[in-house]
Amino acid sequence: MLLHAATIFLSAFLLFLVQPVLAKQILPWYGGAAIVWTTCMVFFQFVLLTGYAYSHWLANRVPSPRQNAIHIALLVASLAFLPILPGETWKPAGDENPVVRILLLLFATVGLPYFLLSTTSPLIQAWFAREFPGSSPYRLFALSNLASMLALLGYPFLFEPWLASPAQSWAWSGGYALFVAVCAGLAWRSRELPPIERAAPSAGEEAEPRPSAGAIAVWLALASLGSVVLLAVSNHLTQNVSSIPLLWVVPLAIYLLTFILCFEGTRWYRRDAYLGFLVWIVCVMAWFLADKRLQFELGWHLGVFAAGLFIVCMFCHGELARLRPGPKHLTLFYLVVSLGGVAGGVLVGVVAPLTLPGYLELEIALVVVALLALFLNHDRPKPVIAMFAAVAAFTSGALAWRVETFTEDTVLVERNFYGVLRVKETLARDTDQETRYRSLVHGAILHGEQWMSEKYRRAATTYYKTSSGIGKAILAHEGLPIKVGVIGLGAGTLATYGDADDTYRFYEINPAVPRIAREQFTYLSDSPAKIEIALGDARLSLEREAPQGFDVLAVDAFSGDSIPVHLITVEAVGAYLRHMNPKGVIAFHVSNRFLDLKPVLLAIAERHGLEYAYVHETSDDGGTTSDWVLLTRHKPFILRPEIVTATEPVAPQPGWRLWTDAYNNILQVWR
């Protein structure tokens, strides 16, 4: 019995640990886009489904010892995948379909090991039932859920802060090799066990009908809805903060916890109580999504949507547990539930980006939750039915309001793998056409503005004004021909500084941005400078290019409200320095509501022997505030009067570990 428990615990732990380990490693290759995690989840859910189907086939259709021999052979073959380190050949060139490439990468890196881990729990329970007839295997199911929870919650707090990414992969690979040895040993020991003796069916079992198509549809709807809400909440939290493992694994842990509670027994899911909670939390979530004034209240959003995810998933999984069939059809039930998880992942990760103009899947899911609750309670007293009808009406109204405000003053909306881009056009002062301006918004984050009148349209605005850190860095070279690199194109505002003898080279990962910058804004076309655009992740592009000799390099790419982590490491700055002339300046845009990245850059500057200046621009003129960190080898630049007077001190953090490509700790820099 101990060997069965150890095998299931280790397999479940590795099954959920590998998800953030691999997702974090490939995240930098796609500019830190939040949907990398969603795409990974589609892969993991699909392989989990195939693993369940394989286990059902092997345990029920293949006799021992042949089933044991097949499984042992696959376990040994899976060792060829170790270590699970994504190969350099998988790095994108910039013109591929990211979803397809990520799925292929995961299949090639961890496909067979993950498949075999997903088969372990049902297979081991079947072998346990054969070896210990009369004993319940469901304690092993509870043990596997406990191991999964420990892996998910342990990653951001124990593994990520202390182990570099390659070390995480090697540690996981060592754990998997141990699992193969243990599981193969158990399979060998179980090869001669007799099949489970099936008792004669009772009258009740004989009368148990096959689940109807309607019942199966309800199972599928509940399972899919839980998966959709999980991924939609994860997208909602990461698109406006940063795509970090902490904001991935906590929602997934909540989702898993609800499965544990609902299927452990009947004491946790009190139907009437949770239906009451559901009425309240669905309305609150819909309100938070519809009210633009609340979109940057991070603390409230984390609390509301974590609680909302828990209650919605308790409803979905509690109803699943309540509606599950008798033992005769339990295998079909679990296959449908697994299929629902895959369907939810496909809806959020593939269908939504292709069909919805914005991140509206969470709002739509709340409407469906309300309608499904109404459907499942159609036989309750009229006041209860009226209550759920009111919730459905409220969530539908909130969705309509969200769509209306989303498209308000909007000239263009475009969604792709990298997120949602909107171009908005408004008047700063009513009826004054000279105050008309356009804004480029990615999610909820501003990526540039331009006045539309001929009189003002060449003015640098928002974070890029002449009083900003980047403005001062460029104007320090005024009168001289310069070459400027910019990581992150946005509306192309910085091109307005260009003169006829200048070159401005923009690095942009989102293929939609250059087209929008040229068609909806005039910064690029108005600039007399030579404009170059390199499509693809900036780090990968710079690694492949010959030294550019930049006088100024602006690091202005954002994923959510923060620079992607892979652009702010020791190795990243080393790569930038290879492209700088000896007096060049690297300017990091670190404006952020939630993360304080200034001490991270101070430590990196000290490692590279660079001069450091932090320039904070206030909003005293009613405009946008900005924070820029300037790094250079050339000390006279830092001593220029306009830099000295604008520089503010930054306290070093000697206890912090240096950020590298293999290590970073977002929890350290949380404000």
pLDDT tens by residue, 245-288 = 667 788 888 998 898 888 776 788 899 999 999 999 999 999 99
Same domain, 148 and 34: yes
What are the DSSP calls for 387-414, one per residue? HHHHHHHHHHHHHHHHHHHHHTTEEEEE
CA quadruple 136, 137, 139, 142: dihedral positive or negative? negative
- How many structural domains is the chain composed of? 3
* Spatial CA neighbour of 668 closest among 601, 597, 607, 615: 597
Q: In this structure, is residue 452 part of a structural domain?
A: no
149: number of Cβ within 10 Å: 18
Measured CA to CA, the distance from residue 174 to residue 663 in angstroms comes to 20
Under a CB-based contact definition with an 8 Å cutoff, are residues 232 and 308 in contact?
Answer: no
Same domain, 185 and 224: no
Residue with tokens 């263009």: 412
Same domain, 494 and 597: yes
Judged by DSSP in three states, 595 sits in strand
**What pLDDT is recorded for position 561?**
56
Same domain, 241 and 189: no
Q: In this structure, is residue 437 part of a structural domain?
A: no
* Spatial CA neighbour of 116 closest among 33, 202, 55: 55
Same domain, 586 and 630: yes
Domain harbouring 149, CATH code:
1.20.1250
**What pLDDT is recorded for position 560?**
60
Domain harbouring 467, CATH code:
3.40.50.150
Final residue in a domain of this structure, among 388, 406, 424: 406
**What pLDDT is recorded for position 668?**
81
Measured CA to CA, the distance from residue 627 to residue 598 in angstroms comes to 9
Measured CA to CA, the distance from residue 307 to residue 315 in angstroms comes to 12
604-608: long-range contacts, CB 8 A cutoff, minimum separation 24: 604/568, 604/569, 604/570, 604/573, 604/631, 604/658, 604/659, 605/573, 605/631, 606/652, 607/570, 607/658, 608/570, 608/573, 608/574, 608/577
Same domain, 389 and 494: no
Same domain, 180 and 289: no
pLDDT tens by residue, 643-662 = 999 999 999 998 888 999 88
Query: Residue 608: which domain range?
Result: 461-669
**What pLDDT is recorded for position 424?**
93
Q: In this structure, is residue 426 part of a structural domain?
A: no
Q: In this structure, is residue 434 part of a structural domain?
A: no
Same domain, 169 and 263: no
Judged by DSSP in three states, 56 sits in helix
Name the residue type at position 330: L
**What pLDDT is recorded for position 376?**
93
Same domain, 274 and 386: yes
Final residue in a domain of this structure, among 406, 421, 437: 406
Same domain, 390 and 506: no
Q: E strand or H helix at 638, and its extent?
A: helix 635-638
**What pLDDT is recorded for position 205?**
47
Residue with tokens 């459905």: 392
Q: In this structure, is residue 128 part of a structural domain?
A: yes
Q: In this structure, is residue 631 part of a structural domain?
A: yes
**What pLDDT is recorded for position 199?**
43
Q: How many residues does the chain have?
A: 671
pLDDT tens by residue, 153-195 = 888 888 888 888 889 999 999 999 999 999 999 999 887 766 5
**What pLDDT is recorded for position 624?**
82
Same domain, 363 and 219: yes
**What pLDDT is recorded for position 135?**
65
Under a CB-based contact definition with an 8 Å cutoff, are residues 581 and 614 in contact?
Answer: no
Same domain, 401 and 471: no
Under a CB-based contact definition with an 8 Å cutoff, are residues 92 and 29 in contact?
Answer: yes
Q: Which residue ranges of the chain lie beneath pLDDT 70?
A: 94-95, 134-139, 141-142, 193-208, 240-246, 265, 295-296, 298, 327-331, 559-562, 620-622, 671
Q: In this structure, is residue 446 part of a structural domain?
A: no
**What pLDDT is recorded for position 604?**
96
Q: In this structure, is residue 204 part of a structural domain?
A: no
